[in-house]
């Protein structure tokens, strides 16, 4: 049962980071460039792949979809941990998928993001690994 709770907490951390990121994407100045001219330039510049969107709209869309991925991870793994723990801990597919996602998030956080998501995702990864290990005892 402790394994289920550790997995749930791991999922909640990622889910909450996703919710916070989604909130920051649409509200407040935290994800705006410090240079207001850059935002204007992003709004006026189209991507090479299409003229149907701007860099700014793509930036907002990428941040929103990134947030939704983290929220979905939190909801799915949180639900499985609390209500379908036996299934989750017996499914090498879901365990490997979750581990791969968290490792990828940790690497991206280290390479491209900043301290808060790196520490939060790293904690989530440690709890995830502990939960899997305890489920085997």
Per-residue pLDDT, 19: 98
Helices 55-83 and 36-44 cross at an angle (nearest 10°) of: 100
Per-residue pLDDT, 116: 95
The secondary structure of residue 31, as a DSSP letter, is T
User: Tokens for 40?
Assistant: 């204007």
Per-residue pLDDT, 28: 84
Per-residue pLDDT, 85: 96
Domain that holds residue 28: 2-135
Assess whether pLDDT exceeds 90 at residue 137. no
* Residues near 8 by beta carbon (within 8 Å), at least 6 away in sequence: 77, 78, 81, 82
pLDDT in tens, 28-55: 889 899 999 999 999 999 999 999 999 9
Computed over every residue of the chain, the mean pLDDT equals: 96
Distance between CA atoms of residues 3 and 81, nearest Å: 8
Distance between CA atoms of residues 120 and 106, nearest Å: 9
pTM confidence score: 0.93
Number of independent structural domains in the chain: 1
Per-residue pLDDT, 68: 98
Distance between CA atoms of residues 128 and 50, nearest Å: 40
């Amino acid at each position: 049962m402790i394994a289920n709770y550790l997995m749930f907490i791991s999922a909640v951390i990622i889910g909450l980071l996703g919710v916070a990121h989604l909130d920051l994407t649409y509200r407040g100045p935290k994800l705006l460039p410090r240079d207001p001219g850059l935002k204007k330039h992003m709004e006026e510049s189209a991507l090479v792949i299409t003229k149907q969107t701007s860099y700014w709209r793509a930036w907002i869309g990428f941040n929103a979809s990134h947030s939704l991925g983290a929220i979905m991870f939190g909801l799915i793994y949180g639900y499985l941990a609390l209500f379908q723990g036996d299934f989750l801990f017996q499914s090498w597919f879901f365990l490997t998928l979750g581990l791969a996602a968290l490792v990828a998030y940790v690497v991206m956080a280290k390479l491209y993001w900043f301290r808060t998501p790196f520490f939060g995702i790293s904690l989530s990864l440690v709890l995830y690994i502990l939960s899997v290990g305890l489920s085997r005892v």
